[in-house]
Amino acid sequence: MKVNIYYGGRGLIGDPTLYVIGKMQEILEELNVNVERFDLSESKNVITTLPNTLKDADGIILASTVEWYGIGGYMQQFLDACWLYGDKEKISQIYMCPVVMSTTYGERDGKLTLSTAWEILGGLPCSGICGYIPEISMLECSEDYDRIIEKKAESMYRTIQQKLASFPASNQAVKQKVSFTQNVNFTPQETEQLSEYASDEDYVQRQKEDIKELTSLFKDRMENREVEPEPALVDKFEKHFRPQAGVNAVYRILVKNYKKPLIIKVEKGACRCFFGTSEFADVEIQLEESMLNTIISGKNSFQRAFMGGSMTMKGDFKILCALDELFVFGSEGKEFNATV
């Protein structure tokens, strides 16, 4: 059994939450549970990648300290990341025990916030702990409080071990109606890059400005296109299509001087290509006609064109990489001119 502890406090000496999760960890480890702890304050630059750590967990403890109002920013960031990047199917199998200690008012509200958030994510609830502890000595000098913590840890262990069922909560309907986030499986290299870029506010701001500029630029280009795309380009893509297991995606390729974008829809091992419009696209690509010809001739690839700055894209980078596996060009050994 694996239990992860996510601590959202500031790690201050005398934090009552640290005492409680420390005791719970000791008890769970005595029960031969593999316990791993994540201090969000120390991992603030990689919080967006922490949902990946849920994949091997049977249960988790979300622990926070109310020092002023609410569960704190680090815990809220982690829950936001779970909503945006977490594997909802895996979360639906994970039990969560909330632990909220307060040095001021609001421990019950904090516990309710964590429970509600986890249920909206689709996770399973466990009975939690909350209390008003203005001084850490109240915990350290009380055997009664230690017994309460011990009983809660044992209760969590039994709940996970026996996979106890619970009645469905109405707030889970929120996930079913509005959660359309995609599951993303990152490699260690991509995880490192994501954590670096997501924590760099200047980089994020530059990306937003670049996207806005590119959107305006290509909007003007699309409005002024005069070249009618050659239908043979569609045949070229369909001829070189190689189905890949598990790859389902929609690509929108905007080529300079083309009146309409090239839409590529891959679903269940089949490919459909056409010039037109699509309300949704997993990846949008923007490039020059000459670069497209180079790719189709087999002298370049979509991924290398993007990394080299000859092509821009918006969307999922993994799905972009899959494009070079779906369409294997270069077998004819000659360049294809799309406008002739």
Residue 53 has pLDDT above 80, yes or no: yes
d(CA 237, CA 54): 39
3-state class (DSSP) for residue 54: helix
Predicted pLDDT of residue 258? 84
**What end-to-end distance do the CA atoms of the chain give, in Å?**
63
Predicted pLDDT of residue 178? 58
pLDDT per residue as tens digits for the range 91-141: 999 999 999 999 999 999 999 999 999 999 999 989 899 999 999 999 888
What is the dihedral angle through the alpha carbons of 203, 209, 215, 335, rounded to the nearest 10 degrees?
-40
pLDDT per residue as tens digits for the range 235-292: 889 889 999 888 899 999 998 888 889 999 999 889 999 998 888 899 999 999 889 9
Element at 153 (helix H, strand E):
helix 143-162
3-state class (DSSP) for residue 131: strand
Q: What is the pTM of this model?
A: 0.54
Domains of the chain in sequence order: 2-176 (3.40.50.360), 200-326 (3.30.1050.10)
What's the pLDDT band for 166 if we cut at 50, 70, 90? confident
Predicted pLDDT of residue 334? 43
299: phi > 0 → left, psi -120 to 50 → alpha, else beta; which? Answer: alpha
Residue 337 has pLDDT above 50, yes or no: no
Share of residues in the chain with pLDDT > 70 (%): 83
Mean pLDDT of 321-332: 81
What's the pLDDT band for 71 if we cut at 50, 70, 90? very high
d(CA 237, CA 239): 5
